[in-house]
Amino acid sequence: MTRRDLLAYLPGLTLLLFLAPVAAGLIGTWLPAFGYFPALEGHGFSLLPWQMLLAHPGLPESLRLTLLSGFLATLTSFLLTIVFLAACHGGRIILAIRGLMAPLLAVPHAAMALGLAFLIAPSGWLVRLVSPWATGWDLPPDVASLPDPNGLALTLGLVMKELPFLLLMTLSALEHSRADERLAIARSLGYGPVMAWMKTVLPAVYRQIRLPIYAVLAYSLSVVDMAMILAPLSPPPLAVQVFRWFNDPDLTMRFVAAAGAVLQLLVVVAAIALWRLGEILAARLGRAWIAGGRRGGKGRALRVLVKAAIQTLVVLAAAGLLAMALWSVTRRWRYPDALPSSLSLDIWSRLGNDIVWTTGTTLISGLAAAFIALALVLGCLENEQRRGLTISTRALWLLYAPLLVPQVAFLFGSQVLSIQIGIDATWIALVWSHLLFVLPYVFLSLEDSYRALDERYSRTALCLGASPNRVFWRVKLPMLLRPVLFATAVGFAVSVTQYLPTLFAGGGRFVTLTTEAVSLSAGGDRRVMGVFAFLQAALPLAAFAAALALPKRLARSRALREQRA
Amino acid sequence: MTVVSVAKEHGLVLRQVELAHGGQRLLGPLSLTVAPGEVVTVMGPSGCGKSSLLAFVCGTLDPALEGSGRILLNGEDISRRLPEERHVGILFQDDLLFPHLSVAGNLAFGLPPQIRDRRARRARIEEALAEADMAEFYDRDPATLSGGQRARVALLRTLLSEPCALLLDEPFAKLDVALRARFRSFVFDHARAQALPTLLVTHDPQDALDAGGPVLEIDAAGKVCAGTDRPLEQRGPEPRRTTE
Amino acid sequence: MRRRIALLPLLAACLSTLLTGTLGGAQREAAAAETRAWPEIVEAAKGQTVYWNAWGGDERINAYIAWVGERVWDDYGIMVRHVKLADTADAVSRVLAERAAGKTEGGSVDLIWINGENFATMKDNGLLYGPFTEALPNFALVDFADKPTTLVDFTVPTDGLEAPWGMAKLNFIYDSARVAETPGSIPALLDWAKANPGRFTYPTPPDFLGTTFLKQVLIELAPDPAFLQQPVADDAQVEQVARPLWEYLDALHPHLWRGGKTFPASGPAQRQLLDDGEVDFALSFYPSEASSAIANGLLPETARTFVLDEGTIGNTHFVAIPFNASAAAGALVVANFLMGPEAQAQKQNPEVWGDDTVLAMAKLAPADRKRFEDLPIGVATLAPEALGPTLLEPHPSWMTRIEAEWQRRYAR
């Protein structure tokens, strides 16, 4: 088999690598949901799991929390994104915010949630800063801010994580939609800036960010780690409830859990369908709205408002992480002190061994997943270019599949599968499970730059007699060093943030910074949480910093060499 | 039309307009007056800043560039106004019809909101289309139109918005030669009929010739190197309106 | 097209392994007693890595487990890896999933910190290794006479399938700087909560401390607590015995923290609330937890402990070995070390953990006894005689019912 042939099989192999576990996992979850699970004496099919599920007293409230926080978080992130981009188009603030969004995107959900939880709790930092001198609260007020009965803290946390993703995806979509020209036309026709953006740019951009929005919706409806930290617990949102059932000591609850996992999938599918319906409706109304010709105002008030909202989110995220870092070096920090009353590095030294192990595991799994994903993605893109193929919309849907299917809906089935092929609780299973989620993000962050590379460079090189492989290694990769490193950092960050896959595939033997941070969140010692949240956030940020610094470093050393020569 | 630098003058007036990038001058200083119904052509090689000049006039100059000088439209200084408050219509090389809207949708987009009644709006659009011999294209998707048809719809969209001046950024460049002549006269006829001051930038001498108005030539360094108050073929001896 | 063709056989292959595997896993292994002599076990254990699955929600306990790891590495060449669980049931479900897949050896869990419901589940389902306790030399030092719960776990006989590790007894922690008078009984606690609205709560069941609070109320208010030592007979019995519990909670909840609409996630989470000043009491299973938390900077110097006059629930916690453990020998050696005087004394030290020993002082050599006598007593720790009587855990079948009913009533 020649090298070329190998490359041709790569896209198929890649899809298999990460669709097979999802598909098999879904089947392995559906069978028990309908009573078939021989290990627990379930040999026939029945609807009993569903009857038990529907009879569960907390189910309506769980569903309410799930739907409320899922839709509210998605809608808020989406509206903030488009209103911000519409109101501030071309402004310097967009560049500034873009620069801040990448690190926010890199910070794992759990670290963000822990930080936010400490900020907004009744005895949290925000209250401490103004108490008791301004509020008179010698004791924290008995206010239900965390968790709040409607899951608003979870919604806020989700927005803080999903807004950067949507904003960056939309910004990249904007580059392909000739937004400046559309706006120039619309404004020369008398449209205000926001109205012009909404009526001429949004319809073009929306098409490109539809899948990312669905991914945000699916994620928000099925998040587990953030919900365990920020959402009400009795009862919790559906995904957490399903996760708990899978861990119930009463083994018959596995059937209910499986049915719940299927329900979770149905909820996501229905939600996406509902959103799609909303899109169609909005498009229909939107056409009439556009044809109505209303020009809109200057949008100054809106600009001030949306800027303030986004700045508040950024400040909250930064303050939360700062608080966690501060806790990690605290000895004592009681309510209502605005700052710790005594500091110490005891916790760091006490946890030394743990820190080394968990950081090591996190690093190894993250780097392995990121580099494997990078190799596969580069192979697929290179194959596509050599053959002049382009990725179809349908293939893109496949790529997004692991981001659209709720994790809790297939991980149990995949776990059973991995046990059967004898790789459960091994590095293979762990890295593979991370790869499912790392691969799409690496692809998304690399495809644009790879395709944008001026084809004439490689044509010139080929005409100079270089083989395609030589062109790939000596021309394309060096020219694409920056985006390649960036995509690797993205992949690493995605791996670090994984919670459920680490638990299910790693069999609990692999403790990463994320599993540690979430399991500690129930424990109460904020200083220890601080250590792990800090490390959890620091690792991906360091990866991004390295991805940015390395090309500069190489350029400088080249300049030095040239000087010497 | 021969009167120079009258503050209350009708038409479009550019005074000492200069474009710079990082302190380095790109174009200008340039002053000119376009009377209602007149077409003034600015000619120059690509990269001399012609398009940026039009962007400066309609208020959408790239923030990386600095523009100075004043723009007066019908006697009012519009240099500091927002793009949407300038009432300056523009046509680009690409028609930029919105693919998410039908032909009528694109035209309705241009129609002023003061026309509230749905039937009245529809009537205006139908009227415009009929006048351009495109009555049957009302519900068509712009993607199904030929290049010439798309160009005409783009012009109609601009005209329906009732602009006070028209800017043309090489709108004929992408059309083939046969179409180009027809569309050119379509544009110029409409501009004249509505007495719009029209500023055309191009690097095609034929455009300038057909426009039949004064011509300014800009060199690669952005300097005004020649100008006439006559159509190109009858280029007169004395330069006009290049400086004040 | 090629892509689609390649996908199908692989899916089919996945599916078939899934099905045959699950079918194959249905056979059950009968538990076999550990018959090897101790030196043989120690020899086999050398070089093994023991994955110890233990609740990881308390940093002091985690630190103690890390200390155990260092000691058994030095003494026996065994590597202990602490798999930190949010809930012990996670490990039970792992073992189950492994059996479901037919994995009868080379399992991922070697040692598990366990008691009560989880033990009952694993025992009932034949998921445990052993009986093995008789093979451990230190088992003979356990105080079976005065600590009967070392042999009967929540009324279920241990049958040598789990080795006792520590003694727990429910107590309450409060901040003496804020609270002067503490309630002495469950009814008095209700009056206190009414007088101090929003200042009391309990961890959300099925957290073990939350469940224990329910049991405490149940035992103290039930007309005839003797029933609780037997398995549940029928629904009518549950209905009758538990009625006072629900009446009590209905009266109590409106006066709780957050109006009883939400509850802290765990005991340590509630301890954090106590430190933050959001509530006035925390629940604990370890009599010296308050002292230990003060030493660790987790509670104010003024924190103190109280118990209820008629006694509080006490139990024993154990370690067990799953039937398919990869390092059973290593797990046996660790279990034995945990029952030894050195590990037990270290564990009882309030500066370390403060968990009471399972050993009988009379059975120890004088040097070992001295280890216990020399332990410091923390400022907030009640003397053993002040801890009051120990109430026995109800049969697990009661708690399954009670937890489900609690969910039905209050978690919706």
Return the closest-CA partner of residue A366 out of A447, A411, A433. A433
Q: Which chains touch A (3 or more CB pairs under 8 A)?
A: B, C
Residue A39 to residue C118, Cβ atoms within 8 A? no
Domain positions in chain C: 33-166+316-378, 171-314+390-410
Which of A:507-536 have CB within 8 Å of C? 507-509, 511, 515-516, 518-528
H helix intervals, A421-525: 427-452, 455-463, 468-470, 477-479, 481-497, 500-506, 513-521
* Residue with the larger pLDDT of the pair C401 and A353: C401
What does DSSP assign to residue C158?
-
Phi-psi region of A34 (alpha: psi -120 to 50; beta: other; left: phi over 0): alpha
- What pLDDT, on a 0 to 100 scale, did the predictor assign at position A279? 95
- What pLDDT, on a 0 to 100 scale, did the predictor assign at position C15? 43
**Cis bond upstream, residue C223 (ω within 30):** no
- What pLDDT, on a 0 to 100 scale, did the predictor assign at position A250? 72
Touching pair C, B by Cβ (3+ pairs < 8 Å): no
Q: Which of A484-498, C192-206, C224-238 has the lowest mean pLDDT?
A: C224-238
Which among C26, C83, C258 has CB closest to A39? C26
Instruction: Look at residue C188 and tell me whether its pLDDT is greater than 70.
Output: yes
Fold that domain C33-166+316-378 belongs to in CATH: D-Maltodextrin-Binding Protein; domain 2 (3.40.190)
H helix intervals, A292-351: 300-328, 346-350
- What pLDDT, on a 0 to 100 scale, did the predictor assign at position B143? 87
Which among A234, A421, A526 has CB closest to C263? A234
Reduce the DSSP state of residue A158 to 3 states and report it. helix
Q: Which amino acid is at B58?
A: C
d(CA A208, CA A205) in angstroms, rounded, equals 5
Q: Give B83's contacts in chain A (Cβ within 8 Å).
A: 184, 187-188
Which of A:81-140 have CB within 8 Å of C? 121-123, 139-140
For A330, the enclosing helix (H) or strand (E) is strand A330-332
Q: Which amino acid is at A523?
A: G
* Residue with the larger pLDDT of the pair A135 and C58: A135
List CB contacts of A130: < 8 A, sequence separation 6 or more. none
Q: A271: pLDDT confidence band, cut at 50, 70 and 90?
A: very high
Residue A199 to residue B105, Cβ atoms within 8 A? no
Mutate to test the interface with A, among B81, B95, B100, B139 (most CBs of A within 10 A): B100
List CB contacts of A190: < 8 A, sequence separation 6 or more. A295, B84, B85, B87, B112, B161
The helix-helix angle for A3-33 and C2-24 (nearest 10°) equals 40
Mean pLDDT of A63-77: 97
Residue C93 to residue A528, Cβ atoms within 8 A? no
pLDDT in tens, A111-124: 999 999 999 999 99
Q: How far is C187 from chain A (nearest CA, A)?
A: 24
Q: Which amino acid is at A450?
A: Y
Q: Determine what percent of chain A is predicted with pLDDT higher than 70.
A: 98
Q: C242: pLDDT confidence band, cut at 50, 70 and 90?
A: very high
3-state SS track over chain C: CHHHHHHHHHHHHHHHHHHHHHHHCCCCCCCCCCCCCHHHHHHHHCCCEEEEEEECCCHHHHHHHHHHHHHHHHHHCCEEEEEEECCCHHHHHHHHHHHHCCCCCCECCCEEEECHHHHHHHHHCCCECCCCHHHCHHHHHECCCCCHHHCEECCEECCCCEEEEEEEECEEEEECCCCCCCCCCHHHHHHHHHHCCCCCCCCCCCCHHHHHHHHHHHHHHCCCHHHHHCCCCCHHHHHHHHHHHHHHHHHHHHHCHHHHCCCCCCHHHHHHHHHHCCCCEEEECCCCHHHHHHHCCCCCCCEEEECCCCCEEEEEEEEECECCECCHHHHHHHHHHHHCHHHHHHHHCCCCCCCECCECHHHCCHHHHHHHHCCCCCCCCCCHHHHCCEECCCCHHHHHHHHHHHHHHHCC
Instruction: Look at residue C241 and tell me whether its pLDDT is greater than 80.
Output: yes
- What pLDDT, on a 0 to 100 scale, did the predictor assign at position C105? 87
Q: Which of B69-73, C101-105, C283-287, C335-339 has the lowest mean pLDDT?
A: C101-105
Mean pLDDT of A346-371: 91
pLDDT in tens, A385-409: 887 776 666 777 788 888 899 999 9
Give residue for tokens 């059967």: A420
pLDDT in tens, B196-233: 999 999 888 888 888 888 888 888 777 777 666 554 44
Q: Does C36 touch chain A (CB under 8 A)?
A: no
Residue-by-residue DSSP string for C58-83: -HHHHHHHHHHHHHHHHHH--EEEEE
d(CA C381, CA C335) in angstroms, rounded, equals 28
Pick the CATH number of C171-314+390-410 from 3.40.50.2300, 3.40.930.10, 3.40.190.10, 3.30.230.70: 3.40.190.10
Q: Which of B165-179, C196-210, C235-249 has the lowest mean pLDDT?
A: B165-179
d(CA B239, CA B31) in angstroms, rounded, equals 12
The helix-helix angle for A3-33 and A352-387 (nearest 10°) equals 120
- What pLDDT, on a 0 to 100 scale, did the predictor assign at position C19? 41
- What pLDDT, on a 0 to 100 scale, did the predictor assign at position B235? 39
Which of A:316-335 have CB within 8 Å of C? 331-332, 334-335
- What pLDDT, on a 0 to 100 scale, did the predictor assign at position B110? 86
Instruction: Look at residue C3 and tell me whether its pLDDT is greater than 50.
Output: no
- What pLDDT, on a 0 to 100 scale, did the predictor assign at position C26? 35
Cα three-residue angle C327-C328-C331, rounded to 5 degrees = 90
Instruction: Look at residue C137 and tell me whether its pLDDT is greater than 60.
Output: yes
Enter the tokens of residue A534.
């800090």
Strands (E), C162-279: 162-169, 171-175
Q: B5: pLDDT confidence band, cut at 50, 70 and 90?
A: very low
- What pLDDT, on a 0 to 100 scale, did the predictor assign at position A4? 54
Give residue for tokens 């910190």: C113
pLDDT in tens, A497-529: 999 999 888 877 788 999 888 888 876 788 989
Average per-residue pLDDT for chain C: 87
Mean pLDDT of C374-396: 84
Mean pLDDT of A171-184: 87
Instruction: Look at residue C336 and tell me whether its pLDDT is greater than 90.
Output: yes
- What pLDDT, on a 0 to 100 scale, did the predictor assign at position A391? 66
- What pLDDT, on a 0 to 100 scale, did the predictor assign at position C90? 79
* Residue with the larger pLDDT of the pair A490 and B63: A490
pLDDT in tens, A291-322: 888 888 788 889 999 999 999 999 999 999 99
Instruction: Look at residue A260 and tell me whether its pLDDT is greater than 90.
Output: yes
Hey, which residues does B150 pair with through a beta bridge? Answer: none
Give residue for tokens 């049915």: A259
Q: Does A89 touch chain B (CB under 8 A)?
A: no
Q: What is the largest CA-CA distance in chain C?
A: 80
Mean pLDDT of C92-106: 82
d(CA A403, CA A221) in angstroms, rounded, equals 12
Mean pLDDT of C277-293: 90
Burial of A163 per CB tally in 10 Å (0-12, 13-18, 19+): buried
3-state helix, strand, coil in chain B (%, to 5): 35, 25, 40
- What pLDDT, on a 0 to 100 scale, did the predictor assign at position A370? 96
- What pLDDT, on a 0 to 100 scale, did the predictor assign at position B228? 61
Which pairing describes strands B198-202 and B39-43: parallel, antiparallel, or unpaired?
Answer: parallel
Of the ranges A460-464, B30-34, B116-120, C134-138, the best mean pLDDT one? C134-138
Q: Does B23 touch chain A (CB under 8 A)?
A: no
Which among C81, C268, C409 has CB closest to A523? C268
Q: Which chains touch C (3 or more CB pairs under 8 A)?
A: A
Q: Read off φ and ψ for residue C135, nearest 5 degrees.
A: -80, -10
- What pLDDT, on a 0 to 100 scale, did the predictor assign at position A565? 65
Residue-by-residue DSSP string for A266-304: HHHHHHHHHHHHHHHHHHHHHHHHHHTT------HHHHH
Question: What is the sign of the dihedral through the CA atoms of A284, A290, A292 and A295?
Answer: positive
List CB contacts of A469: < 8 A, sequence separation 6 or more. A3
Which among C11, C15, C66 has CB closest to A353? C66
d(CA B180, CA C174) in angstroms, rounded, equals 89
Instruction: Look at residue B239 and tell me whether its pLDDT is greater than 50.
Output: no
Domain positions in chain B: 1-87+165-244, 99-162
Check for a shared fold between C33-166+316-378 and C171-314+390-410. Answer: yes
pLDDT in tens, A197-242: 999 999 989 988 999 999 999 999 999 999 999 998 888 999 999 9
- What pLDDT, on a 0 to 100 scale, did the predictor assign at position A131? 84
Other Cβ atoms within 10 Å of C79 Cβ, number: 15
Mean pLDDT of B21-36: 86
Pick the CATH number of B1-87+165-244 from 3.10.450.50, 2.40.30.10, 3.40.50.2300, 3.40.50.300: 3.40.50.300
